[in-house]
Amino acid sequence: MKKLALAVALAFAAGGALAQEKTIKIAGFGAKSGVVRSFGINSEAAMLAAADVINKQGGVKLADGSKAKIAVEFYDDRCNAEEGISVIRRIAGTDAVVAIGPTCSNVAEPLFGILQKKVADSGDSGLQFPVFTDVAIKVGLARISEWAFRNVPNEMTMYSSVFYWLHQKHPGLKTVYGGVEDDFAHSRASWHVVMKDRAQANGFAVAGESKWLLNDTNFATQVREMKKANADIVAIAAHPFTTCGVLKEMQRQGVKPKILVGLTSSSSLETLQGCAKQAQGMIIPTSFAPVSKEGKYAAEQTAKFKGNADLHSMAAWENMFILKQVMESEKITGKDVQGDRRKIREGLAKLKVTKGLLGDTKRTDDREADKPYLFVQAKGNDWVVLHNPL
Partner 1 sequence: MLDLLQAVMDGVLFGATYALIGIGFTLVFGVMHKINMAYAAASIGGAYGGLLILKVMAAPAWVVFLCAFAAGGVLGYAVYVTCFHFIPLSSPLATLMSTVGMLLLIDEIIVHVTAGMPQNYPALFDDVMWRAGEFSLRGDLLLVFGVSVLCMIGLLALLYRTKLGLATRAVSQQAVAAQLCGIRVGRVNAMTFVIAGLLGGIAGALIGASVGMLSPLLTTPLTVKGLIVTVIGGLGSIPGAIIAGLLVGGFENVLQLYRGVAERDLYVMLLLFVFLVFRPGGLFTPRGARD
Helix (H) or strand (E) holding 131: strand 131-133
256 binds partner 1 (CB under 8 A): no
| Beta-sheet pairing, 233-237 with 96-100 | unpaired
Nearer to partner 1, 78 or 367 (CB): 78
**Three-class DSSP category at 217:** coil
Mask 169-208, x = binds partner 1 (CB under 8 A)? -------------x--------------------------
**Three-class DSSP category at 323:** helix
214 binds partner 1 (CB under 8 A): yes
165, 154, 237, 153: which is closest to 195 by C-alpha? 237
Q: Measured from the CB of residue 338, what is the shortest distance to partner 1 in angstroms?
A: 36
Q: Which stretch binds partner 1 (CB under 8 A): 1-9, 138-146, 240-248, 336-344?
A: 240-248
Angstrom distances, CA of residue 236 to CA of 97, 125, 209, 252, 256: 39, 41, 10, 17, 14
218 binds partner 1 (CB under 8 A): yes
Nearer to partner 1, 92 or 311 (CB): 311
Question: Applying CB under 8 A, which of residues 74, 191, 241, 288 lies at the interface with partner 1?
Answer: 241
By CB under 8 A, the residues from 257 to 316 that bind partner 1 are: 269-270, 273-276
* Whether 373 contacts 153, CB under 8 Å: yes
Nearest-angstrom CA–CA distance, 359 and 54:
20
Q: Which stretch binds partner 1 (CB under 8 A): 163-171, 193-201, 219-227, 324-332?
A: 219-227
216 binds partner 1 (CB under 8 A): yes
Question: Applying CB under 8 A, which of residues 204, 212, 317, 373 lies at the interface with partner 1?
Answer: 212
- Burial-class residue 349 by CB neighbours within 10 Å (0-12, 13-18, 19+): middle
230 binds partner 1 (CB under 8 A): no
* Whether 118 contacts 365, CB under 8 Å: no
Q: Measured from the CB of residue 224, what is the shortest distance to partner 1 in angstroms?
A: 7
Q: Measured from the CB of residue 178, what is the shortest distance to partner 1 in angstroms?
A: 13
381 binds partner 1 (CB under 8 A): no
Question: Applying CB under 8 A, which of residues 120, 122, 217, 352 lies at the interface with partner 1?
Answer: 217
Question: Applying CB under 8 A, which of residues 89, 169, 170, 252 lies at the interface with partner 1?
Answer: 252
Q: Measured from the CB of residue 179, what is the shortest distance to partner 1 in angstroms?
A: 11
Nearest-angstrom CA–CA distance, 81 and 104:
9
213 binds partner 1 (CB under 8 A): yes
148, 96, 143, 141: which is closest to 338 by C-alpha? 96
Nearer to partner 1, 67 or 192 (CB): 192
* Whether 115 contacts 147, CB under 8 Å: yes
Nearest-angstrom CA–CA distance, 132 and 290:
23
Q: Measured from the CB of residue 181, what is the shortest distance to partner 1 in angstroms?
A: 10
Q: Measured from the CB of residue 184, what is the shortest distance to partner 1 in angstroms?
A: 11
Q: What is the DSSP letter of 215?
A: T
47 binds partner 1 (CB under 8 A): no
Nearby residues of 117 by Cβ (< 8 Å), 6 or more positions away:
124, 126, 144, 145, 146
Q: Which amino acid is at 47?
A: M
Nearest-angstrom CA–CA distance, 83 and 104:
12
Q: Which stretch binds partner 1 (CB under 8 A): 126-134, 239-247, 289-297, 369-377?
A: 239-247
By CB under 8 A, the residues from 91 to 120 that bind partner 1 are: none
Residues that bind partner 1 (CB under 8 A): 33-38, 41, 182, 211-218, 220-222, 224, 240-241, 244-245, 248, 252-253, 269-270, 273-276
